Chains A and B, each alone.
Chain A
Amino acid sequence: MKLKINPFFFMTGPYLIWITAMIVIPMLLIVLYAFTIEGNDVATIQFSLDNFVRFVTDKTFLFVVGKSLWIAFLTTIICIILGYPIAYIISKSRGRQSLILILLLTLPTWINMLVRTYAWMGILQEGGVLSNLLEMIGIPGVSLLYTDFAVALGMVYNFLPFMVLQIHTSLAKMDNSLLEAASDLGANKVQSFLRVTLPLSMPGVVSGITLVFLPAVSSFFIPKLLGGGQYVLVGNVIENQFITAGKWNFGSAISLIMAIIIIFSMWLTRKIEVQPRKEEN
């Protein structure tokens, strides 16, 4: 008699062990550290909510959270305003042309984000390319580096391609006969855009928002390079807690809150994305 154990099951064995050790246990460590206080021994471990209490009562941290959310929100809005027209133009151009445009747009994203962000430091600094340009049109002596503008610009630069790609994907999937039907039924171009194109591209906008907003909230090298050493967002707080301050418990608590919010919102956008597709079928 043959044993009925799926032989393919064994092929997943190594990875099961691997993800337990490298994904599950590290995440549990974050949870453990977040709910304990410093100097705990394994024998005398004590759970506490101190880290979370500190997080919601300390005004400086709340300010940092507020600032991170604000910058990420600003970045997302700018990415929608710039990204939608770009994606729309690409989707309206002819087959080969739109393929080349998409390729040109994705090419820079393959190059190291840190290197590209570093380049902006030179462009934005006093006497740099951009301030020279401003000087030529009569606005001299502006240093744009180490400002909110620089941080938002760095984020828009790094995350805009994600927004364009997401919106383009949903626009490219759209059935053109819908637009013909709209115009047959008497809608003008603006009306058919507002009533047909825009609603149908919403799933792309929503997943674009997650791909921009979430990395923007947690980014820490963009604010550090373009905002300067004094510029602190949530990511910088976490970095400081782990690298310089050595307060792992508090750092874990902040990370845990951030991870939960981000994973929850990703899960939520997927629900939103999946729903319309189900209705179509």
Chain B
Amino acid sequence: MHKPNRIWNIFSKTMIGFSLLFFYLPIVYIIVFSFNGKRSLSELDGFSLQWYEKMFADPIMMDSVVVTILIAVLATIISTLLGTITAIGLSKCGKSFRNAVERVNELPVMNPDIVTGISLLMLFSALAVSKGFVTMLLAHIMFCTPFVILSIMPKLRTLDPNLTDAALDLGCTPFQAMFKVIVPQIRPAIFTGALIAFTMSFDDFVISYFVTGDGVQNISILVYTMSKRVDPSINALSTLVILIITVALLIVNIVPHFLHRKKTPLETK
């Protein structure tokens, strides 16, 4: 029994080692080359911050960072509010109605992003809305809200309906019952939903690409249009993206510890 175990040990360590190398190689690559002293994506030559200087001096790059963050924050707030209210409302509605709404709600999740993107492109064109910041924001709310609802619904099913009924009997309006009784119980799920919404919005390329216009670009669109040129300031921008997401994940995973919660959002995803 001893020998196969050792072989298994070596095999599993190499396998995990190689897969971690595979997953982190591009990320390390981006960060390392963003400090490159040379205009090259393959040869390293000294350390410099010139690509960061270039990035911060480039109004197009800075605009894309502002657009990405602004849209992600707004889309997260709006879709979390909309999703929470809808999920709570749905949980108290009849089964067939709830199922019907859930089916439609799942469409943007199941549909390929490219189909969602062109469907919104056609909607905005049919309404003769000029494409830009607002259409991108609307699109982001559209694909973020289903994820918020999907992360809250399972938690709502586990709640004791008597608590809400008691609150209503004691004279609460449904809105009071929602904020005083239901929301405190599902706060971790709302938190998870908001985190998923934020990263979904922050990272989105495909849908944004189809619904934007008027020169409004988020970081992904900018990287896509710039990818044919050798420009290491894209690496600086990408490093900034990695930094923002890492900080967001850290905050989200550390904050619950202070609030004495057992599960972190990352585990529940």
Which A residues fall within an 8 A CB radius of B? 6-12, 14-16, 18-19, 21-27, 29-30, 33, 82, 85-86, 89-90, 92-93, 99, 101, 103-108, 110-116, 118-123, 125-129, 132, 157, 160-161, 189, 214-215, 217-218, 220-221, 225, 235, 238-239, 242-243, 248, 251-252, 255, 258-259, 262-263, 266
Contacts and interface: CB of A to CB of B under 8 A. Distances in A.
A104 B19 CA distance: 10
7 contacts: A15-B85, A15-B101, A30-B119, A108-B23, A115-B220, A118-B227, A243-B210
Interface string B32-54: 01000000011100000000000
A218 B89 contact: no
B186 interface: no
A12 B42 contact: no
Contacts of A262: 110-112
A255 B115 contact: yes
A111 B42 contact: no
B254 interface: no
B141 to A, nearest CB: 8
Nearest to B222: A114
Contacts of A116: 26-27
B23 A11 contact: no
Count chain A CB atoms within 10 A of each CB in B92, B110, B142, B266 and give the residue with the most.
B110
Interface of A is mostly: helix
Given A23-B142, A114-B224, A251-B118, A29 B126 contact: yes
Given A23-B142, A115-B238, A121-B227, A259 B26 contact: no
Contacts of B114: 218, 220, 235, 238-239, 255
Contacts of B86: 11-12, 14-15
Contacts of B199: 110
A26 to B, nearest CB: 3
B229 to A, nearest CB: 11
A191 to B, nearest CB: 14
A119 B111 contact: no
Interface string B1-31: 0001000000010011001101111110110
A111 B203 contact: yes
Given A255-B114, A262-B110, A266-B110, A8 B41 contact: no
A118 B107 contact: no
B255 interface: no
B197 interface: no
Contact of B12 (A92, A104, A235): A92
Contact of A113 (B12, B20, B205, B242): B205
A122 B118 contact: no
A45 to B, nearest CB: 13
Contacts of A266: 110
Given A19-B104, A115-B220, A29 B119 contact: yes
Given A86-B16, A116-B27, A126-B42, 15 more contacts: A9-B89, A11-B89, A19-B105, A89-B16, A107-B249, A108-B23, A112-B238, A114-B220, A115-B242, A119-B238, A120-B26, A121-B41, A255-B114, A255-B118, A263-B107
Interface in B106-160: 107-108, 110-116, 118-123, 126, 138, 142, 145
